[in-house]
Chain A
C-alpha cells in the first residue's frame, strides 16, 4: 500500500478525533461532575454556530472574537437551563435526560422559527480557508486550527479542574456532595458553574463546526450521538474522553478509507456496543461509578 495514503488517513483521523473531542469535552465535564446526561448538548453546539453566524453577519465581529463570545453567550444559556430546570432534577437521572431532550427540541424548533430551515454559512478568515501542502499529505489549514484549538481547550479544562481552587471545589463536590458542603462549598453554585463551562465549550465547538460545515437547526443531532459515545466509552473522565476520541477518530478514518463514511459510522457504533458489553465502565473508570 502507498505510504502517503496511510499517512493521509492518519492525519485525517487526528482531525476527526479532534472534532469528536471538541464536541464531547463539554459533555464530559457536565457528566463527570454532576452526573447529568445533557441531551441538549448538540443544540448548544448548534446555538454556538448560530451565535457566530449572527455576530458575523449582523455585527461584523471577526471570527476569532466570535469563539470567546460564543463561549460566553452559550454559557449564559447553559446557566438559564441549569437554574430553571436541571437543578430540580439532580436526583432523577433518567428524568434529567428526558427534560434536556425536551430542551433540545425547544431550542431546535425555536432556532428554526427565528432563522428558518435553510443553511447558513460562517465566513472564515482567508488564511484559514486555504490548504497546506506538506509534501505527502494535503490538509486544510482550518482542520489544523481545529486540532490546535482542541489541544488548547483540553489544556484550559485540565488547568481549570486540576490546578485552580474552583477545580478542587468541583472535584470535592463530585466525590462527596455532603462532605464538601460541610466544608462550606456551595454545591448548587459549583454545579451551576460547571454546567456553564460545559455549555460554553459546546458554544466554542459550534463556532468551529460552523466553519467546517453548513449551519442548520438540526446540526446538533449529528454531533451529539458521537459525543455521547466518546464520553460513555471513555468512562466519563477527561483523559478517557481524549483517548476515546483519538482512537475512534482513527478508526473512523481507516474504516472510511476501506468502505465509506456512513458504513464507517455504523461500524464504530457497533464497536462501541460490543466494547461496552465487555467493559461497561469505559476505558478509564472504576467499576462502580454512577451507572
Chain B
C-alpha cells in the first residue's frame, strides 16, 4: 500500500507555496494596467470559489446563495466609497438619491461617513446575516438539498429587494462611486499594483485560514458531520453550531471578496445577487474540485480565464459548453479536476518521492470521498 502524494500534508503546503509564489510574480513581470486589473478580479473570483469550497466541499453545505454575502460586502464597500466623495456640509446626499427625491441621507447610510466603520460594516453585516440565517436553518436541522433551496430563495429575495429599494440602492443601475477608495493616505487605484496586492493578501490570508481550519479539530468535526451528522450528534457535539460557524466563516470570506470587487470595478449592481452569478461560483468550485481549496481557486481562474479569452461574441456558446461540462463533471467526476489529479497521482506509486515538480501542483488535503 503506497501513499498517494496527493494526501501528503507537507507536499500540499509546498504546492500552496509555489502557487502563491507564482501569483506574486505577476505584478513584477506584468506591465499592463488593464490586464492587472482583470487578473485582480480573477483573484476575487478565486476567493469566492475558495469560500464555497470551504463550506460545500468540507462542510457538505451547498450554498447556492453565496452571492448574498458577496453582494452585501460589495454594497457596503460601494456605500463607503460613495460617501468618501460626499461632503457633510455642502453636498451630503449622493446624486442618485436626489434623483429619487430623497430629502435627507437615509439612516442606514449614516455610518458609512466614516471609512473605518463602513469597511467594518461591509464585513460584519454579511457575516451576521450568515450567522442568523444559518442558526435558524441548522437548528431546525434543515440540511442538504433543502438548505440549498432556502439559500436560493433568500438570494432571489435579496435580488428583488435591492432592485425595489431604488432610493436607497439606485435600483438596477447600482452604485458607481466616482472616486477610488482611500484608506487614510493610501489611494487604492483599481488599475495599480496596490489593489492587486490587497486582493493577493486577502486571497493568501483566506487560503491559509481555510487550510488551517480544515486541519484543525474544528475542521475534523465539520468534515465528520458532513459524512454522518447523526453519529457526530451521538458523540455529544452540537452539529448546528459547527454548521453555522463554517457557513458564517465562508460568508465572511465572500464578503471580503465582494469588497475587493467593488474597489476593483468602482461599480456594484444587483447583478451580484443574480442567480446566474451564484451558479458561476458553484461551477468554479465544482469544476476545479470542491474538496480542494487550491483547485477551487484554480477552477475560478480556468473558467473565468477561458471566458474572457474567448471574448464576448462566443459568450452564449461558451455558457452552453460550460453547462454541458458542468453536467459531465457532476455525473462522472464529482471531485472535479482535483479528483482527476488525485487519481493520476495515486496511479504513480513509485514516483511519489519525486512528486515535488512545480508544474504538476499535486495539491491538497485528504479527499472527502473516503470517510
Chain A residues with CB under 8 Å of chain B are 37, 85, 88-89, 92-99, 101-103, 105-106, 109-110, 112-113, 221, 225, 228-229, 232, 260, 262-263, 265-266, 269-270, 272-274, 276-278, 280, 291
Contact = CB atoms under 8 A, between A and B. Distances in A.
B137 A276 contact: yes
B316 A112 contact: yes
B367 to A, nearest CB: 16
B366 interface: no
B355 interface: no
Contact of A97 (B62, B153, B275): B62
A228 to B, nearest CB: 5
Interface string B114-144: 0000000000000000000100110111111
Given A225-B156, A262-B160, A276-B140, A98 B330 contact: yes
B332 to A, nearest CB: 9
A276 B157 CA distance: 16
Contacts of A99: 327, 330-331
Nearest to B143: A291
B137 A273 contact: yes
Contact of B140 (A93, A98, A262, A278): A278
B170 to A, nearest CB: 15
A277 B140 contact: yes
Which A-B residue pairs are the 4 nearest by beta carbons? A105-B323, A102-B327, A106-B323, A262-B164
Given A273-B133, A280-B140, A225 B153 contact: yes
A97 B148 contact: yes
B220 interface: no
A54 to B, nearest CB: 19
B282 interface: yes
Given A263-B164, A265-B157, A105 B279 contact: yes
Given A99-B331, A113-B320, A273-B150, A280 B142 contact: yes
A99 B333 CA distance: 12
Contacts of A266: 157, 160-161, 164
A165 to B, nearest CB: 31
Nearest to A272: B153
A263 B161 CA distance: 7
A94 to B, nearest CB: 6
Interface in B249-300: 275, 279, 282, 286
B68 to A, nearest CB: 12
Given A94-B148, A98-B282, A229-B153, 19 more contacts: A37-B145, A37-B148, A94-B60, A94-B62, A97-B145, A98-B326, A102-B323, A102-B326, A103-B323, A106-B324, A109-B320, A225-B156, A262-B164, A263-B164, A272-B153, A273-B133, A276-B137, A276-B146, A291-B141
B204 interface: no
A104 to B, nearest CB: 8
A214 B172 CA distance: 20
B33 interface: no
A81 to B, nearest CB: 10
A262 B163 contact: yes
B27 to A, nearest CB: 34
B43 interface: no
Nearest to A109: B320
Interface residues of B, number: 42
Contacts of B319: 105, 109
Contacts, number: 118
B322 A105 contact: yes
A228 B323 contact: no
Contacts of A272: 150, 153
A106 B137 CA distance: 31
Contact of A94 (B133, B137, B144, B320): B144
A92 B62 CA distance: 13
Given A99-B331, A265-B157, A266-B160, A221 B316 contact: no
Contacts of B157: 265-266, 269-270
Contacts of A221: 275
A89 B275 CA distance: 24
Contacts of B185: none
21 contacts: A37-B148, A37-B149, A88-B331, A89-B331, A94-B144, A94-B145, A95-B330, A95-B331, A96-B145, A101-B279, A101-B282, A103-B327, A105-B323, A106-B320, A109-B316, A109-B319, A266-B160, A266-B161, A273-B154, A276-B146, A276-B150
Nearest to A229: B153
Contacts of B282: 98, 101
A285 to B, nearest CB: 12
B180 interface: no
B334 interface: yes
B152 interface: yes
B317 interface: yes
B327 A85 contact: yes
Contact of A260 (B144, B164, B320, B323): B164
A228 B164 contact: no
A106 B328 CA distance: 12
B334 A273 contact: no
A283 to B, nearest CB: 15
A269 B153 CA distance: 7
